[in-house]
Structure 1
């Protein structure tokens, strides 16, 4: 057997400046599409693709379509949370944390832009209050029948 001498010539690299701290985290390499213009995403493309494939009318999903839907989802979440943060700052100046009630307030009482989420993001209520509401509805329905 013969041996092969492998040497690596390392050239000194220029130090790159550290990224600013206020930038979002860099995407994971698995979440970057291939091609001439890679599009970084932070949500897992494979999970989005799985969700897309779960539709019975869909048999195949291309990688490009999955990346596009993933990026669109990220933009939707970003816009939704930015507007909810504005609602939060208008109603609660003491707390800096965005809460569910801010999201539900935006959907239920905000612009018509978010009305399609009305059933998905309702105002938070206690079970006791919900049961009382059901009892009142039953009483009204039974009164109408008689």
Structure 2
């Protein structure tokens, strides 16, 4: 799909985490977080299929460049550094710049998408959770929260 100068990538998801992701991406804005363009739902035979429309990332994911054998060229050091710094800036925004701290539960190479210029954008916020305010007294509680206890 092409709409003006915006390319759109589509991702099918089932019911569980999609509402969290739609709500979350609807209120955040950062250059290192993927933009949600639209959302739709379709009744299937057994479940309702939901479709998230993201901005298109022509350079796919970081995983494609690190682990896929068809890519004969290694990423140049400058681009690798740009990707690492951008991903870190996206995480810092989630952890420190929002009113409520957000724990990004799916930080992995396949969820770091790359635009035309290899600028990284974090994606897949289905496991994102509201974090706690960190104090000396709350560290054990946060550790338990992350471990699901």
Q: TM-score range by the shorter chain?
A: under 0.3
TM-score normalised per structure 2: 0.25
Select the structure that is richer in strand. Answer: 2
Structure of greater Rg: 1
Select the structure that is richer in helix. Answer: 1
